[in-house]
Amino acid sequence: MAEGSKKNTVLRWTFDILVIMIGAAVYSLGVHCFISPNNIAPGGVTGIAIIVSGLTEMQVGTLILLLNVPLIVLGFFLLNKATMVKTLISVAAITAATDLAEMFVPVYSAENGNGIMAAIFGGALMGAGMGLTYQREGTSGGTDIITKMINRFFPDLKLGGIQAALDGLVVLAGLVVYKDINVVLFAVVAIFVQSKFIDVLVYGSQESRFLLIFSRCPTEIAKKLLEQERGVTLLNGEGAYSGEHRQVVATAVHRSAYSKVKRIVREIDPKAFVVTTTAGEVFGEGFAKLN
């Protein structure tokens, strides 16, 4: 490996670890200040740790580490080693930050059982922390590892479905232990807020649309879109039934410009067949830079 390349690798890993540790600190604040003191178990190993802590009075951070150790060991055998190193760092940082927070940082205790604010702010901080970790190709351990292992052996199962099922089991366990339906409702709110913050940090807030336009007037549509300074690609296609050669217009646009593109297509060819999908991220000219 060249000297310059080795130096870049070291700098990248140093920056990754720094961001992961910051993410762990933010995540821990959400757990300590809002989630744990209000008996909210928002899925995952953290939710299990909160439930067990309430039953045994052990520190939440310590429990997060103990529950993660066997999963991390399995992960090193079955998953990407670099990701698992970053996961180990993340879990260790979460453990230390959560236990330290218990000694120095005050908590928010919801009055009269109204934990909605605790669920929102706790979910936001946890999501922000996890988002920072995911940005640097790490995980927070726990069910992230279980999900990836299950998906490796059962690739037809969707990651989101596996994660939702595992989180659901933890939330139901919280209901059994605390015997309070509010625990379930607040946990659902925390999970929802957490997922939204992760999406914003990992995929960005500039959601775009990708369109495939099947029309008998592809060149006219492409020309009009180019006049609007839209990037356009003409793909060669062939009708499977008719055998007719056709060009398909492909373009990506910001969400704010989506309606205008639809109007242009409608004006040129009202019978056009348009397939639209959400693009979480688009890189390149006119969009975000590829970092």
Residue 142: left (phi > 0), alpha (psi -120 to 50), or beta?
left
208-279, what's its fold?
Answer: Alpha-Beta Plaits (3.30.70)
**What does each of the 291 residues of the chain score in pLDDT, given as a tens digit?**
566 677 778 888 899 999 999 999 999 999 999 999 998 999 889 999 999 998 998 999 999 999 999 989 888 887 778 888 988 999 999 999 999 998 899 998 877 657 899 999 999 999 999 888 888 878 778 887 887 778 777 777 766 677 778 888 999 999 999 888 888 899 999 999 988 888 777 766 566 889 999 998 999 999 999 887 788 989 998 877 777 888 999 998 877 678 788 889 999 999 999 998 887 667 776 666 666
Res 153: pLDDT: 79
Give the phi and the psi of residue 73 in degrees, each rounded to 5: -60, -45
Res 203: pLDDT: 65
> Exposed/middle/buried for 186, CB within 10 Å: 0-12, 13-18, 19+?
buried
Res 63: pLDDT: 93
Res 20: pLDDT: 93
Res 160: pLDDT: 62
Do the bridges between strand 232-238 and strand 245-254 make them parallel or antiparallel, or are there none, so unpaired?
Answer: antiparallel
Res 206: pLDDT: 61
Res 286: pLDDT: 65
Res 219: pLDDT: 92
What pTM was estimated for this model as a whole? Answer: 0.75
The two counts, helices (H) then strands (E), for the chain are 10, 4
Per domain, the residue ranges of the chain are 3-203, 208-279
- Give the Cα separation of 59 and 44 in Å (integer): 17
